[in-house]
């Protein structure tokens, strides 16, 4: 689970649909990535970080934790 990414989206009131629109991906593709079933492409991760405007590393934003 990408807890930091999900937390940042929640803080900003952003949904998977919003993320999908920002990345030109369908909601299903976003869900697959958020649940760890599909890996993020590096370019997508960079785009997400820029889209959120967070001041943390990609490693921290996309840190995977079980549960």
Domains defined along the chain, listed by start: 3-61 (1.10.260.40)
How far is 46 from 66, CA to CA, in rounded Å?
A: 23
Q: What is the pLDDT of residue 66?
A: 87
Residue 20: name the closest of 66, 42, 59, 51 by CA: 51
Write down the pTM of the prediction. 0.91
Q: What is the pLDDT of residue 36?
A: 94
Residue 16: name the closest of 34, 43, 36 by CA: 34
Q: What is the pLDDT of residue 65?
A: 92
Structure confidence by residue, pLDDT tens digits, 14-66 = 999 999 999 999 999 999 999 999 999 999 999 999 999 999 999 999 999 98
Q: What is the pLDDT of residue 42?
A: 98
Q: How confident is the model at residue 67 (pLDDT cuts 50, 70, 90)?
A: confident
């Amino acid at each position: 689970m990408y807890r930091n990414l999900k937390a940042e989206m929640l803080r900003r009131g952003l949904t998977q649909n919003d993320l999908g629109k920002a990345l030109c991906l369908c909601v299903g593709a976003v869900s697959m990535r958020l649940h760890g079933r599909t890996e993020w492409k590096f370019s997508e991760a960079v785009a997400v970080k820029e889209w959120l405007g967070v001041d943390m590393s990609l490693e921290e934003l996309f840190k995977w934790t079980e549960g």
